[in-house]
A and B are shown apart, each in its own frame.
Chain A
Amino acid sequence: DAKTTQPPSMDCAEGRAANLPCNHSTISGNEYVYWYRQIHSQGPQYIIHGLKNNETNEMASLIITEDRKSSTLILPHATLRDTAVYYCIVRVPNSGGSNYKLTFGKGTLLTVNP
């Protein structure tokens, strides 16, 4: 079962920042937080991941709380093409155990409105 909780849907105005929350209150010390998104009818696309420090790349920023029980994915200037389902997943990246694979929940459907 997925170890994360996300709101089923969110709306955002085009050009504004989109802040997508994720709760992972049972996260273990060696589990990373991964974010993927899936645009309609396409395969999931990797966005970003982090352990405990905030991370930023060309697509988004990831803010992880100090206790690591929740995180927020930030799309700084959302566009219509960012409309997608966003998945928050916890995983141990360098493990041969059961956490090696990605376990998806239902994610958050982000709709960016013009």
Chain B
Amino acid sequence: DTGVSQNPRHKITKRGQNVTFRCDPISEHNRLYWYRQTLGQGPEFLTYFQNEAQLEKSRLLSDRFSAERPKGSFSTLEIQRTEQGDSAMYLCASTDTGYSTIYFGEGSWLTVV
């Protein structure tokens, strides 16, 4: 296994621009999660997919955020009209059918200037 892969690792964008992050989960993991983490805080849950179905969204996921997992494999997290408050690390994680151990990627850092 190559682990959970996230791209890009770092992104600097101007306020108002759109950004997209990609996550490739561990092969054959059908459950995928997105988290957000700001400095000094633990990761906060954003959304969860089982295969291609988005089954839960946190209230942290405003209308400017959209996540997809079109074929039940990789996932994308798009932030439209970025704001400075969106600056954070966005983490992707995956697990298998048994809801067993959840494995995280290295995260994608977003800085909105």
Contacts and interface: CB of A to CB of B under 8 A. Distances in A.
Interface of A: 2, 36, 41-46, 49, 85, 87, 92-96, 100-107
Interface stretch (B12-20, B42-50, B64-72, B78-86): B42-50
Contacts of A42: 106-107
Residue among B41, B43, B56 with the highest chain A CB neighbour number at 10 A: B43
Given A43-B107, A101-B33, A101-B48, A87 B42 contact: yes
Contact of A104 (B44, B48, B99, B105): B44
A49 B43 CA distance: 19
Interface string B42-63: 1111001000000010000000
B98 A102 contact: no
B42 A107 contact: yes
B110 interface: no
Tell me if A's interface is mostly helix, strand, loop or mixed: loop
A46 B107 contact: no
Contacts of B98: 93-94
Contacts of B4: 43
Nearest to B102: A102
B89 to A, nearest CB: 8
A2 B101 CA distance: 18
Contacts of A102: 33, 43, 45, 93, 102
Contacts of B56: 101
A85 B100 CA distance: 22
A107 B41 CA distance: 9
Given A85-B42, A102-B43, A102-B45, 11 more contacts: A41-B89, A41-B107, A43-B104, A44-B91, A44-B104, A45-B104, A46-B102, A46-B104, A93-B98, A94-B99, A100-B48
